[in-house]
């Protein structure tokens, strides 16, 4: 039903997961990521929205604020050891 | 359901890659077979559900005993998406239904999750009496200042001069101050946050899960399609940014002074007090009158 | 299963219809009542308020009838048997939730101690004008069950029957008292608990993963689950599918609403209840219910003394209406005489079911007091 892409930064403190097909392109995660490492991607999902993409993988802290803001449950972050 | 993985070779070598995708912390609480939900782009309701899910996890309550009751409206649809014992009742009547649930089985933790119009307009009478009785219910009220589901009619929380379909020239009614209303009716916990304040909101939701009595959290949220669009707010994100800019968290402010106007949204926890719950008062009275002949109701021996 | 003895006030009592109804509910296992005071029903909840604390029941007087009528639904889904009590104006307020209970298949009992209407009407005086409202009062297509006692003993017995039918068919059952029966005092015998049969709630034995909320059994009734048992029930008034999920489409509507209606119609033979007397050779049959059925007895006595062949047909279950029996009787007789304390409600059902084979003669009464038997007698005489 939904496609999942793993975003896996190299030296990770955090990692995010995005379910592209659930995204409705609201922009909350992009705006409220405290490290500003998300942006709209160029691709479209099936409904015509631009899902987010991570633009600076190394800096993700795994704070999961993107996950808390997402009204569509399409993105979340986890801390990795 | 197909999942596609993209794993970089470097990660496999460095041992970082996991072959299993972890679950979104909110998913265990959702009826995933009903996703995607019906809420619009930039609607704040889903954000509050994230906070609720995380609050439930952190509170470590037994999920079997958590019930969610909602009324009619966009926020009312929350019960349909939550994978708990959930009840989508009639317009305005979530609180009396929840009362019946709770009194019939006091071991349940009963959460009423509904919108401003549902809880305060048509449901207003039930709200004030349940607060007066200190019925042990957790009320989560998403206030988007409008009747969203039905197309954007004026609500008791619509700000002065705002445009709505039933106030097309601008609203000329004053709006309720919901924390003040809740406090004056006897609520033991009263707070207001916004969909932007996810950390404080999660904490507040966690607090009420274990606090006995009538708890009330008002959450200001964007309604991009019906409120924002008609009131010069570009979209849900713009409204969230307004929440971020204009919110004031004032320590020690009273509910009476918790105003919402063009300049500010006053947020915070306004009331956190103790009162006997309805069942405690009832048990006390009957124990008094009947002595040992009376078995206290809902009390585990 | 048998009644729980703690609620059964075994013995011979001299109590009124309202009080008998309360005792019937207690014997039936009702342990949650939400209500609002309204004459002439108030005595039911007053007795409940004093009886419940020591039998483990919970009573709450809520802020209005709207709250009461939905609180009982909440109580049912948490596992209790529940009832609310009202009269005309409150009955009107409860209509939305009667529909909600029908749609969500929530078993519960609504008691309407009918009084003169419409509107505020005659608060302390009888009427029987809520009968059609009981059948059609809420919006949409649905079926309910309605009973009408005509004595204090029946107020006790039929209340138990009301709860049993509610559980068996997962439907709101309306208990249509009238102010006369509610406020008159008679001998009521309450048997020992082991002589009272209770129909238990039809809880599923399936595991949560195998259970579908609204998958019907062979009698069109689904098995039930309650909150707190890990079934993650979802109850909605929206048109829904077998999982209980909203399915607001014409096909889903067709399936669901037809089942809700057929659930009662196809099982009508099991549900209908009436008392017949001397109908085999009758030329005229008097169809009545509630207090009017007792008043009619005097008129029938006079008519039989005159040599007329008069049968009686007393409805105990009013809805579903005993169509088959009335149609069968209509083939053999010349007329039905229908005295009712309204300006014509059940008479239309009688007429419909007669299919033109027998006359239907209404003996109306606007309410406020019982019929004068003379009027019923004249109608019987004039019907041939």
Q: Which of B33, B34, B104, B114 to mutate to test the interface with C (most CBs of C within 10 A)?
A: B104
Separation CA A32–CA B199 (nearest Å)? 12
Please report whether residue C243 resides in a domain: no
Give every CB contact of residue C138 below 8 A, 6+ residues apart in sequence.
C95, C96, C98, C99, C102
- Nearest CA-CA partner of C100 in B116, B93, B127, B115: B93
Q: Which of C195, C212, C236 is the last residue of a domain?
A: C195
* Pick from B83, B95, B103: CB nearest C232: B83
- Contact flag C67-B64 (C-beta cutoff 8 Å): no
* Six token digits for residue B87: 């009840």
Find the domain containing C295 and state its range. Answer: 274-383
| C289 plus C149 within the same structural domain | no
Tell me which chain C residues have a C-beta less than 8 angstroms from the C-beta of B93: 66-67, 70, 97
Kindly state the helix (H) or strand (E) to which residue C83 belongs, with its residue range. strand C81-86
Listing DSSP states for C24-73 in one string gives HHHHHTEEEEEE---TTTHHHHHHHHHHGGGGT-EEEE-SSHHHHHHHHH
User: Chain B: nearest CA to A42, how far in angstroms?
Assistant: 18
| C191 plus C289 within the same structural domain | no
Q: Which of C172, C195, C218 is the last residue of a domain?
A: C195
User: Chain B: nearest CA to C151, how far in angstroms?
Assistant: 31
- Contact flag B3-A32 (C-beta cutoff 8 Å): no
Separation CA B231–CA B59 (nearest Å)? 38
Beta strands in chain B (DSSP E): 66-70, 85-88, 109-115, 138-143, 189-194, 215-220, 247-249, 265-272
Name which of B2-6, B30-34, C63-67, C212-216 the model is least confident about: B2-6
How many residues in chain B?
Answer: 301
Separation CA C301–CA B160 (nearest Å)? 72
Please report whether residue C267 resides in a domain: no
Predicted confidence band at B222 (pLDDT cuts at 50, 70, 90)?
A: very high
Q: What is the pLDDT of residue B177?
A: 97
Q: Is the peptide bond before C60 cis (omega within 30 degrees of 0)?
A: no
- Report whether A24 contacts A72 (CB < 8 A): yes
Please report whether residue C20 resides in a domain: yes
Query: Given a contact as 3+ CB pairs under 8 Å, which chains touch A?
Result: B
Q: What is the mean pLDDT of chain B?
A: 93
Tell me which chain A residues have a C-beta less than 8 angstroms from the C-beta of B8: 8
Q: What is the pLDDT of residue C300?
A: 98
Relative to beta strand C145-147, strand C317-319 is: antiparallel
Is residue A4 scored above 90 in pLDDT? no
Longest dimension (CA), chain A: 36
Tell me which chain B residues have a C-beta less than 8 angstroms from the C-beta of C236: 79-80, 87-88
Is residue B17 scored above 80 in pLDDT? no
- Number of independent structural domains in chain C: 2
Q: Minimal Cα distance from A77: which residue of B?
A: B24
Tell me which chain A residues have a C-beta less than 8 angstroms from the C-beta of B16: 8, 10, 12, 80
- Nearest CA-CA partner of B235 in A52, A30, A27, A67: A27
Q: Which of B63, B74, B83, B100 to mutate to test the interface with C (most CBs of C within 10 A)?
A: B100
- Report whether A10 contacts B9 (CB < 8 A): no
* Class of B27-292 in CATH: alpha beta
* Six token digits for residue C180: 């006369």
Give how far the C-alpha of residue C47 lies from the chain's centroid of Cα atoms, to the nearest Å: 20
Q: What is the pLDDT of residue B9?
A: 40
Q: What is the pLDDT of residue A3?
A: 54
The CATH number linked to C339 is 3.40.50.920
- Contact flag B21-A1 (C-beta cutoff 8 Å): no
Tell me which chain A residues have a C-beta less than 8 angstroms from the C-beta of B196: 32
Please report whether residue C253 resides in a domain: no
Q: Which of C151, C174, C195 is the last residue of a domain?
A: C195
- Contact flag B24-A73 (C-beta cutoff 8 Å): yes
Please report whether residue C221 resides in a domain: no
B40 part of contact set with chain C, CB < 8 Å: no
Cβ within 8 Å of C, B 127-166? 129
Please report whether residue C60 resides in a domain: yes
- Contact flag A69-B50 (C-beta cutoff 8 Å): yes
Give every CB contact of residue B87 below 8 A, 6+ residues apart in sequence.
B67, B68, B69, B70, B79, B94, B97, B101, C74, C77, C233, C234, C235, C236
C29: left (phi over 0), alpha (psi -120 to 50) or beta: left
* Six token digits for residue C322: 């005993």
Name which of B19-33, B190-204, C310-324 the model is least confident about: B19-33
Give how far the C-alpha of residue B249 lies from the chain's centroid of Cα atoms, to the nearest Å: 19
| C164 plus C303 within the same structural domain | no
B104 part of contact set with chain C, CB < 8 Å: yes
Separation CA C224–CA C169 (nearest Å)? 11
Q: What is the pLDDT of residue B19?
A: 54
The label of the residue with tokens 């015998």 reads C189
- Report whether C233 contacts C225 (CB < 8 A): yes
Indicate contact of A with C: 3+ CB pairs under 8 A: no
Kindly state the helix (H) or strand (E) to which residue B58 belongs, with its residue range. helix B45-59
| C304 plus C189 within the same structural domain | no
Separation CA B184–CA B255 (nearest Å)? 9
Q: Which of A26, A34, A45 to mutate to test the interface with B (most CBs of B within 10 A)?
A: A26
Counting Cα atoms < 13 Å in the Cβ hemisphere of B235 gives 9
* Six token digits for residue B145: 């200042």
Give how far the C-alpha of residue B60 lies from the chain's centroid of Cα atoms, to the nearest Å: 19
Separation CA A60–CA C261 (nearest Å)? 58
A26-71 pLDDT tens trace: 999 999 999 999 999 999 999 999 999 999 888 999 999 999 999 9
Please report whether residue C310 resides in a domain: yes
Counting Cα atoms < 13 Å in the Cβ hemisphere of C300 gives 26
* Pick from B31, B105, B290: CB nearest C78: B105
Relative to beta strand C185-190, strand C11-16 is: antiparallel
- Contact flag A73-B235 (C-beta cutoff 8 Å): no
Q: What is the pLDDT of residue B5?
A: 34
* Pick from B85, B90, B101: CB nearest C100: B90
A41-50 pLDDT tens trace: 999 999 999 9
Query: Given a contact as 3+ CB pairs under 8 Å, which chains touch B?
Result: A, C
* Pick from B2, B6, B25: CB nearest A76: B25
Q: What is the pLDDT of residue C1?
A: 95
Using DSSP's 3-state secondary structure scheme, residue B114 falls into strand
| C175 plus C290 within the same structural domain | no
Q: What is the pLDDT along chain C (384 residues), one digit of tens a residue?
A: 999 999 999 999 999 999 999 999 999 999 999 999 999 999 999 999 999 999 999 999 999 999 999 999 999 999 999 999 999 999 999 999 999 999 999 999 999 999 999 999 999 999 999 999 999 999 999 999 999 999 999 999 999 999 999 999 999 999 999 999 999 999 999 999 999 999 999 999 999 999 999 999 999 999 999 999 999 999 999 999 999 999 999 999 999 999 999 999 999 999 999 999 999 999 999 999 999 999 999 999 999 999 999 999 999 999 999 999 999 999 999 999 999 999 999 999 999 999 999 999 999 999 999 999 999 999 999 998
B111-169 pLDDT tens trace: 999 999 999 999 999 999 999 999 999 999 999 999 999 999 999 999 999 999 999 99
The CATH number linked to C175 is 3.40.50.970
Please report whether residue C140 resides in a domain: yes
B60 part of contact set with chain C, CB < 8 Å: no
B256 part of contact set with chain C, CB < 8 Å: no
* Six token digits for residue C326: 């009335």
Using DSSP's 3-state secondary structure scheme, residue C183 falls into helix
Interface size A-B, in CB pairs within 8 Å, comes to 107
Beta bridge partners of B182: none
Q: Minimal Cα distance from A22: which residue of B?
A: B36
Separation CA C313–CA C286 (nearest Å)? 6
Query: Which residues in C have their CB inside 8 Å of a CB on B?
Result: 31-32, 34, 53-54, 56, 58, 60, 62-64, 66-68, 70-80, 82, 96-97, 100, 227-238, 245-246
Q: What is the pLDDT of residue C284?
A: 98
- Report whether C83 contacts C109 (CB < 8 A): yes
């Amino acid at each position: 039903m939904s496609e999942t892409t793993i975003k896996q930064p190299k030296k990770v403190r955090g990692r995010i997961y995005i379910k592209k097909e659930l995204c409705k392109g609201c922009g909350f995660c992009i705006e409220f990521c405290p490290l500003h490492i998300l942006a709209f991607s160029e691709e479209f999902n099936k409904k015509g929205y631009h899902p987010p993409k991570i633009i600076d993988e190394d800096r993700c802290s795994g704070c999961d604020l993107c996950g808390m803001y997402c009204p569509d449950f399409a993105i979340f972050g986890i801390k990795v050891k | 359901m197909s999942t596609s993985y993209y794993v970089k070779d470097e990660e496999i070598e460095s041992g970082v890659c996991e072959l299993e995708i972890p679950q979104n912390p909110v998913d265990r609480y959702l009826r995933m077979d009903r996703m995607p939900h019906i809420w619009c782009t930039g609607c704040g309701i889903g954000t509050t559900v994230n906070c609720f899910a995380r609050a439930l996890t952190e509170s470590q309550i037994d999920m079997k005993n958590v019930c969610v009751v909602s009324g009619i409206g966009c926020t009312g649809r929350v019960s349909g998406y939550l994978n708990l014992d959930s009840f989508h009742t009639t317009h305005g009547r979530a609180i009396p239904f929840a009362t019946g649930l709770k009194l019939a089985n006091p071991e349940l933790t009963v959460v009423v999750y509904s919108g401003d119009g549902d809880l305060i307009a048509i449901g207003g009478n039930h709200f004030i009496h349940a607060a007066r009785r200190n019925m042990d219910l957790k009320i989560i009220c998403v206030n988007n200042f409008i009747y969203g589901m039905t197309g954007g009619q004026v609500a008791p929380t619509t700000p002065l001069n705002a445009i709505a379909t039933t106030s097309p020239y601008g609203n000329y009614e004053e709006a309720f101050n919901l924390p003040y209303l809740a406090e004056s009716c006897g609520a033991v916990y009263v707070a207001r946050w916004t969909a932007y304040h996810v950390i404080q909101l999660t904490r507040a939701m966690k607090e009420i899960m274990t606090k006995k009595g009538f708890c009330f959290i008002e959450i200001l949220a964007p309604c991009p399609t019906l409120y924002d669009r008609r009131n010069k707010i570009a979209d849900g994100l713009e409204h969230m940014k307004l929440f971020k800019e204009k919110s004031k968290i004032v320590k020690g402010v009273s509910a009476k002074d918790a105003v919402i106007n063009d300049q500010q949204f006053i947020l915070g926890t306004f009331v956190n007090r103790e009162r006997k719950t309805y069942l405690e008062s009832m048990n006390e009275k009957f124990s008094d009158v009947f002595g040992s002949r009376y078995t206290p109701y809902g009390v585990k021996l | 299963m048998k009644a729980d003895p703690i609620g059964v006030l075994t013995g011979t009592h001299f109590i009124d219809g309202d009080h008998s109804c309360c005792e019937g509910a207690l014997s039936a296992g009702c342990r949650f009542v939400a209500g609002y005071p309204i004459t002439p029903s108030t005595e039911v909840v007053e007795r409940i308020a004093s009886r419940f604390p020591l039998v483990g029941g919970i009573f709450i007087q809520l802020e209005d009838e709207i709250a009461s009528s939905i609180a009982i639904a909440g109580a049912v889904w948490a596992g209790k048997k529940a009832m609310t009590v009202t009269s005309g104006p409150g009955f009107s307020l409860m209509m939305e939730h009667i529909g909600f209970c029908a749609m969500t298949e929530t078993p519960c009992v609504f008691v309407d101690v009918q009084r003169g209407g419409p509107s505020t009407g005659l608060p302390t005086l009888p009427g029987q004008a809520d009968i059609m409202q009981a059948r059609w009062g809420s919006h949409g297509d649905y079926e309910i069950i309605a009973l009408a006692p005509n004595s204090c003993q029946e107020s006790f017995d039929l209340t138990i029957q009301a709860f049993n039918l509610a559980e068996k068919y997962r439907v709101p059952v309306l208990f249509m008292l009238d102010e006369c029966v509610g406020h008159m005092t008679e001998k009521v015998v309450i048997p020992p608990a082991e002589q009272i049969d209770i129909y238990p709630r039809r809880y599923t034995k399936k595991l949560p993963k195998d259970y579908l909320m609204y998958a019907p059994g062979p009698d069109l009734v689904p098995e039930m689950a309650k909150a707190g048992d890990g079934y993650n029930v979802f109850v909605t008034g929206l048109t829904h599918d077998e999982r209980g999920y909203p399915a607001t489409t014409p096909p889903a509507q067709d399936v669901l609403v037809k089942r809700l209606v057929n659930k009662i119609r196809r099982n009508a033979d099991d549900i209908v209840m009436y008392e017949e007397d001397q109908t085999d050779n009758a030329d005229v049959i008097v169809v009545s219910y509630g207090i009017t059925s007792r008043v009619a007895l005097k008129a029938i006595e006079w008519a039989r003394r005159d040599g007329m062949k008069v049968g009686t047909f007393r409805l105990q279950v009013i809805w579903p209406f005993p169509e088959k029996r009335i149609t069968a009787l209509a083939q053999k007789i010349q007329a039905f005489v229908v005295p009712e304390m309204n300006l014509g409600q059940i008479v239309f059902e009688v007429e419909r079911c007669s299919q033109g084979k027998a006359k239907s003669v209404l003996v109306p009464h606007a309410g406020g007091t019982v019929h004068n038997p003379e009027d019923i007698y004249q109608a019987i005489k004039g019907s041939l």
